[in-house]
Amino acid sequence: MRISLTLGGNAAASLRREAESLIAAATEGVADATTTLEQTLRGQVVAAGLGSRLAQTWRSRLYPPTDTGAAGEVWTVAPLIIRGFDEGATIVARNGSRWLAIPTANVPPRSWGSKAPGGHPRQLMTPVEVEAAFNRDLRTVLPPGGRVGYLLMDQMVAARSGRGFRQATSRRLAQGRGAQPVLMFVLVPQVTLSKRLDIAGAVAAVEAEFPGLIESHFGSELP
């Protein structure tokens, strides 16, 4: 004996509406959770004093919903930097060098594209690029003790705009601008990044709110 059971009529239509409402609610809930996580992580970076530029490296994406669910993604385009401040890290010089060169505000910005470690755009010149830009070697100053050093560019004058420095040419010196050494980089043997972010905590908080987000939209979707 074989028995067939079929759901039809108003009951089938009602179930279809329920399923459609659930998918719509899940899609809205995923969108809310994705946006919340992105904004929370950006807020953490700013609150940690790491600046809005690094905060904007957090990005998000929503995927088109399917019959079985919806999905979103949050990621950073500067993963090495973010990981360093999330876990804490000690950065040392590479390729056998003794020093890390930390740029000062006097280092010119780059006018052509490049990527620094971590995938983020490099904003300031390196020591090699500074020497090439001014066609002159940097002067190394190592005070007694050897725990910190300096790279200076000699024979520089302040730009007339008040921003940055230029080479001390005879024409510029004739204008009354005095030549001076300019500090370009501070040399240190290593830099320690303290833990300032809590990515796992932000993810856990959004996960805890996620069922409620779907439920709130599901209630609004019901006829």
For the stretch 17-64, pLDDT in tens is: 666 667 777 888 888 999 999 999 999 999 999 889 899 999 999 888
For the stretch 92-125, pLDDT in tens is: 777 667 888 999 988 988 765 455 444 444 578 8
> Looking at residues 180-201, what average pLDDT do you find?
90
The 3 state secondary structure assigned to 22-33 is HHHHHHHHHHHH
Centroid of chain to Cα 154: 34
Provide the residue type at 76 as one letter.
Answer: T
pLDDT of 7 > 50? The answer is no
What's the pLDDT score for residue 120?
Answer: 44
User: Which of these, 137, 117, 113, lies nearest to 125 by C-alpha position?
Assistant: 113
Q: Where are the alpha helices (DSSP H) in the chain?
A: 9-47, 52-55, 79-87, 127-134, 170-174, 199-221
User: Which of these, 29, 187, 53, lies nearest to 120 by C-alpha position?
Assistant: 53
For the stretch 173-183, pLDDT in tens is: 888 888 889 99
Q: Does the model's pTM come out above 0.75?
A: no
CA distances from 187 to 98, 115, 116 (A): 9, 22, 19
